[in-house]
């Protein structure tokens, strides 16, 4: 499996995307903090974090006795830079803005 | 340290990791030599005195200066100033980092960047960049890539993606 495959596989799961969103909102969390936001066993959350770590979307760092989880945006950036060239980017961001506007009105 | 303190500290730290198919020495050179840093990301010329207490300076490239001036920002001669805290080539570099590009960002505190390079199997290395950004909320937005649509560049994730591209293919994303 290539690095890119790991990233797409890791992102293809709502629980893992939820975990990334939580880390985006506030970075550097412990397993206990992340677990408290999910209706899932500690073991289940650990398994999802492992998949995210294998894809390098999450990087852990020790701080004293705690293991902190950080969102690593680089793999997503690599996919962005690989798949979205300058021209499509402009079109894509126009569509993203349109979607946001229409949904805000709704 | 109480839990609250730990949380307050970690919120302001950003961690980035990229895997690059090259040697640790090549990555080290790409970070510490101006002929390399002028070729990717924000394209500045670094000037490191690679020993504890040594100076770390970045001067803007002509390209970067022209871009900033086109947006009405006059840049100082030195745009980033810091001090080398640890230098263990080609594996570990710790410096302070103080952005001087504009007075508002310059008024924020001095931050700290750690680069760690590890050799892995298969000819790959990992490069981990940790930026401790206490007291520097605007700089945190810039290096986090949040101000990219305002012309501030894509921050560390963009720089590392560009660095990987340069070292693996010989060209950057801009071509």
- Tell whether B174 is covered by a domain: no
- From chain B, the residues in CB contact with A3 under 8 A are 19
Instruction: Spell out the residues 6+ positions from residue B53 whose beta carbon is closer than 8 angstroms to its own.
Output: B83, B84
Instruction: For residues B44 and B118, give the distance between their C-alpha atoms in angstroms, rounded to a whole number.
Output: 25
Of these ranges, A45-49, B3-7, B142-146, B170-174, the one predicted with the greatest mean pLDDT is A45-49
Instruction: List, as one string, the DSSP characters of chain A.
Output: --HHHHHHHHHSSHHHHHHHHHHHHS-SB-HHHHHTTSSS-HHHHHHHHHHHHHTTSEEEEEETTEEEEEE--HHHHHHHHHH--HHHHHHHHHHHHHHHHHHHH-
Q: How far is A75 from chain B (nearest CA, A)?
A: 7
Whether A73 and B157 lie within 8 Å, measured CB to CB:
yes
Token reading at A54: 């294998």
Please, what is the Cα angle at A61 between A28 and B127, to 5 degrees? Answer: 110
**pLDDT tens-digit readout, A41-100:** 999 999 999 999 999 999 999 988 999 999 999 999 998 887 776 666 666 777 778 888
Question: DSSP state, B117?
Answer: E
- Mean pLDDT confidence for B31-51: 95
Hunting for tokens 């803007």 — which residue is that?
B60
pTM score of the predicted model? 0.86
Whether B164 and A78 lie within 8 Å, measured CB to CB:
yes
A–B CB contacts, 8 A cutoff, strictly below: 60
Burial of B23 (0-12, 13-18, 19+ CB in 10 A): middle
Contact A83, A101 (CB under 8 A): no
- A74 close to B (CB below 8 A): yes
- A85 close to B (CB below 8 A): no
Of B69, B133, B131, nearest in space to B102 by CA: B69
Please state the domain count of chain B.
1
Asked if this assembly's ipTM is beyond 0.90, the reply is no
Residue B123's domain spans which residues?
A: 3-169
Instruction: For residues B120 and B18, give the distance between their C-alpha atoms in angstroms, rounded to a whole number.
Output: 12
- From chain A, the residues in CB contact with B19 under 8 A are 3, 56
- Tell whether B110 is covered by a domain: yes
- Tell whether B175 is covered by a domain: no
Instruction: For residues B27 and B126, give the distance between their C-alpha atoms in angstroms, rounded to a whole number.
Output: 9
**pLDDT tens-digit readout, A12-29:** 999 999 999 999 999 999
CATH number at residue B128: 3.30.530.20
Q: How confident is the model at residue B3 (pLDDT cuts 50, 70, 90)?
A: very low
- Tell whether B15 is covered by a domain: yes
Report the residue from B9, B10, B173 with minimal CB separation from A81: B173
**pLDDT tens-digit readout, B52-65:** 999 999 999 888 88
Q: Is the pLDDT of residue A1 over 50?
A: yes
């Amino acid at each position: 499996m290539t690095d890119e495959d790991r990233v797409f596989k890791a992102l293809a799961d709502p629980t893992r995307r939820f975990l990334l969103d939580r880390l985006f909102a506030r970075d550097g969390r412990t397993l206990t903090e992340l677990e408290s936001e999910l209706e899932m066993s500690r073991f289940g959350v650990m398994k999802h974090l492992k998949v995210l770590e294998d894809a390098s979307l999450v990087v852990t760092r020790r701080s004293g006795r705690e293991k902190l989880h950080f969102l690593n945006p680089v793999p997503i950036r690599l996919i962005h830079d690989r798949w979205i060239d300058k021209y499509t980017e402009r079109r894509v961001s126009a569509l993203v803005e349109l979607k946001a506007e229409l949904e805000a009105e709704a | 340290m109480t839990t609250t303190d730990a949380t307050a500290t970690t919120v302001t730290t950003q961690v980035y990791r990229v895997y690059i198919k090259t040697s640790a020495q090549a990555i080290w050179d790409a970070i510490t030599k101006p002929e390399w840093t002028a070729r990717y990301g924000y394209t500045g010329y670094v000037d490191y005195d690679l020993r504890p207490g040594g100076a770390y300076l970045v001067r803007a490239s002509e390209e970067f200066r022209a871009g900033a001036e086109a947006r009405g920002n006059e840049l100082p001669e030195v745009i980033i100033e810091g001090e080398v805290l640890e230098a263990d080539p080609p594996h570990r570099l710790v410096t302070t980092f103080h952005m001087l590009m504009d007075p508002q960002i310059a008024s924020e505190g001095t931050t700290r960047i750690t680069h760690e390079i590890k050799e892995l199997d298969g000819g790959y290395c990992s490069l981990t960049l940790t930026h401790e950004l206490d007291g520097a909320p605007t700089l945190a937005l810039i290096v986090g890539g949040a101000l990219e649509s305002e012309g501030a560049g894509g921050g560390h994730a963009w720089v590392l993606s560009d660095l990987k591209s340069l070292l693996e293919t010989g060209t950057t994303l801009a071509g």
